[in-house]
Amino acid sequence: MNDQIKINLQMAGFTYPVIIDRKDEEAVRKAAKQINQRFYEEQKRYSDLPPERVMTLVAYQFALETLQLKQRHDTEPYTSKIKELTSLLDNYFNRLQAT
């Protein structure tokens, strides 16, 4: 069953026809809305820049936020420390049982 739909997204004054999974429609529309909000805010701030330069700033901001979120949710350092501490505890309790 093909559950894809074609929608038109309005972003930065342009229309982009896209084909998406129906289940993703709400998220896709919210993403476009966020882009528009950020674009128009930046366009006011940098009124002397052409729209494509403003969009580059918007893309940069979203990329930076994404990277910061990924770093904040990186659990690998904690997982490694937990494994190390678990190993130390296992060794300690094994030595206690051996005596």
Q: Is 58 exposed, middle or buried (0-12, 13-18, 19+ CB in 10 A)?
A: buried
Question: Residue by residue, what is the 3-state secondary structure of 15-72?
Answer: EEEEEEEHHHHHHHHHHHHHHHHHHHHHHHHCCCCCHHHHHHHHHHHHHHHHHHHHHH
Could you state, in order of their start, the residue ranges of all structural domains in the chain? 4-74
* pTM for the structure as a whole: 0.68
> φ and ψ at 50, to 5 degrees?
-70, 155
Report the pLDDT value the prediction gives residue 77, as an integer from 0 to 100.
75
Dihedral of the alpha carbons of 30, 36, 38, 42, in degrees to the nearest 10 = 180
Report the pLDDT value the prediction gives residue 38, as an integer from 0 to 100.
96
Report the pLDDT value the prediction gives residue 81, as an integer from 0 to 100.
81
Report the pLDDT value the prediction gives residue 26, as an integer from 0 to 100.
97
Mean pLDDT by 10 residues, the chain (99 residues): 90 95 97 96 96 95 92 77 84 81
Report the pLDDT value the prediction gives residue 80, as an integer from 0 to 100.
83
